[in-house]
Structure 1
Amino acid sequence: MSRLIAYLHPKCSTCERARQWLRRRGVDFAEKDIRATPPSPAELRTMLAALGGKRGRLFNTSGLEYRALGLAAKLPGLDDAGALALLAGSGMLVKRPFLLGPGVALVGFDEKAWAAALAPA
């Protein structure tokens, strides 16, 4: 079983592009529906560290839920624990696709970044 996990949303065109990209390259990954099973707090902490502590990069800032909750104004006042609790509680707040595994932590689909991160050693 793969230790690489791709959190994707079935109706997200960017997630579909990422899914197809991974499959074309023969990358072994387990897929999880980000809405039904959001990343865990531990996984979110791992991604946050990979992003250099930039919490805003974890959020789907163009999402309806993000806007409905007014998170653009609230996020600066939240600590890491509060921000990660929000994300772990609602996968629709998490920027996607979200790809995590040993030595790999990617959020959002950038083909060049994914190719570099997933290149054979």
Structure 2
Amino acid sequence: MALTLYWYPNCSTCKKAKKWLDDHHLTYKLVHLVEETPSADELSTLIQHSELPPKKFFNTSGKVYREENMKDKLKDATIEQMVTYLASNGMLIKRPIVTDGNKVTVGFKEDEFEHTWLSNN
């Protein structure tokens, strides 16, 4: 199962997720969230497959989120608007995101990774 790891190399949580994938010998492709920000279509697909609310894809602790006043913008935003915001700046995207094309995890929790990425191998 080839995975895609959307990450930001300076992010400590991303480094932990990458190490976890390496430690479990899982194959993945790295995508730099800022240099290769996913398109609106890619983000829509990730959100659909994750079964999470779109707001879970926002990096709420990030500087850009605060500077852009995203908390207020998201209150009445449609899913399409949220996806457009995310696609406009990779620093708005919560990281890491891991997908196999069907399943998606957002953030890094070891138990969630074990359940999602090891149980079906």
Counterpart residue number, 2:80: 81
Aligned partner of residue 83 in structure 1, secondary structure: helix
Q: Structure 1-normalised TM-score? A: 0.91
Q: Give the RMSD, CA atoms, in angstroms.
A: 1.5
Answering whether residue 94 of structure 2 is matched by residue 95 of structure 1, we say yes
Q: Does the 8 A contact of 1:58 with 1:94 survive in 2?
A: yes
Identity fraction in percent: 30
Deviation at 1:51, TM superposition (A): 4.0
Tell me, in whole angstroms, the C-alpha distance in 2 between the residues paired with 1:114 and 1:83.
25
Q: Does the 8 A contact of 1:51 with 1:57 survive in 2?
A: no
- Can you list the C-alpha shifts for 1:70-99, whole angstroms capped at 9, x where unaligned? 000110221111110111121100000011
Deviation at 1:6, TM superposition (A): 0.4
Q: Structure 2-normalised TM-score? A: 0.91
Question: Aligned partner of 2:28: which letter?
Answer: F
Counterpart residue number, 2:114: 115
Q: Does the 8 A contact of 1:47 with 1:106 survive in 2?
A: no
> Residues 6, 91 of structure 1: CA spacing in aligned structure 2 closer, same or farther, 3 A cutoff?
same
Aligned partner of residue 118 in structure 1, secondary structure: helix
Answering whether residue 54 of structure 2 is matched by residue 50 of structure 1, we say no
Deviation at 1:66, TM superposition (A): 0.4
Question: Aligned partner of 1:37: which letter?
Answer: E
Deviation at 1:47, TM superposition (A): 2.4
Count of equivalent residues: 120
Counterpart residue number, 1:67: 66
